[in-house]
Structure 1
Amino acid sequence: MASNQLVLNRFVSTSQLDKSINSLLGLVEGIAIDGVINETEIDFFMRWLSEHVELANRHPFNELMPVVQTAVQDGILDDEERQDIIWLCEKLKSTQYYDQVTADIQRLHAVVGGIIADGLISEEELRGLSDWMEDHSHLKTCWPFDEIESLITGVLADKVISPDEHRQLKDFFSEFIALLDDRTITSPLIQEGSAFVGLCAVCPEIEFDGKMFCFTGASNRYSRQELFHVVEQFGGLTSNSVSKKISYLVVGADGNPCWTYACYGRKVERAIELRKAGERLLIIHENDFHDAVADLK
């Protein structure tokens, strides 16, 4: 670690300490989510210790570090040790500087980082992650909850992770393995040009009254003006461009299910940028849009 980074760590803010605890908590859960912990994952866990060594004498790390060091010194993280670390993290987590949503999003980032720590993603890990997300459904609409949920749903549809799907998951999950890089933790980059199973929200809750909609891609049912008319009919607003005012970006159904940015252009890219910046803009599939309309008729 660079010397200037060590100096900065000595004066790290309380919010950074909270973030580190949330990251450790998610990391422990992610590594153990499939019930198996291997040597590569233990090595990844040891990285967290080495990257926080300068904080060992500061609260709350002076309480946390001895527990973590004792747990991993034999190269094995058993269930009892895992539960001890999680319990202590939960006790030390501060909600004074971060609301629960922010803390849990940081935790989700680290859970995903823990899963990819050994470079392999199994069906058991994906199902464990899916269960975790179901227990934290209050994170819906927050980056990257919807994107991860969409990927998992698509990959597990046939109960088999193909080599291409594993590569796609690995590309996406690998963005979350940096533990101290603030840019990666708070707004990880999505690799442009990568083909994902889908980035549309799964079973989104769609409201119309007072909400603004934008559309991209080709519809297999309506013209753009007809779609605008449907939205306005139920009290919604429409826009031709993506901005912070947008509540929903609707992706047209006439497209390859494994689409990339190139299929729909700058609107999807802009929507992703806004989501990473913390805007609760939903990217939804046209079929879900039509289902929501049908429910109102």
Structure 2
Amino acid sequence: MDIFNKFNRKDIQDRQIDTLIGLSKGVSADGNVNQAEAEFLMSWLVQSRQSTDNPIIINLLQRVSAMLEDGVLDREESVELLEILQKISGDTSEIGELAKTSSLPVNDPLPEIEFNGSSFLFTGTCAFGTRKQCHEATESLGGTIAKGVNKNLNYLVLGTYVTDSWAHETFGRKIEKAIEYREKGLPVVILTEEHWLCSGGLG
């Protein structure tokens, strides 16, 4: 079986990605991901993982496993998973790719992050983990989590899977508001998840 997999790995991976795109379209078609759909997707990913080292399958399995770790797909996790599946089914060239920071409205240059006593807000889908995991990591470094974009916000972190089409995404308004405050001279910093990871020693 190992020899078979070695010589047919690319063919297997191509078929898996085709199937994943089909599954993503089916699950996200009604604009919602429920518990049963998430569990079905995880079962397929677990089965597929046995015959592949495809990073797309591996990364998605890790994400879905983390979401279902407590046995419940909550509303926030459902929205995050829907965003991922919509990206997979919408544009195959973007599957698994990191956002191109040059096309995102991040601060240039990116400043060093002062975690202690600063407020953070996350938007989009993060590669680090669930929104809850990002919040816990930030709080462990002394930061606080803001409820929304306001004049007192210090950092808006753009998840890795935010692409240059952010203005059309559901979270686009948060980014627009942060840009507006930044242009007015308020000290809000828009940064990438990668910079947040590096500054916090989380990567």
Tell me, yes or no, whether TM beats 0.5.
no
Give 1 or 2 for the bigger CA radius of gyration.
Answer: 1
Instruction: Give the TM-score normalised by structure 2.
Output: 0.45
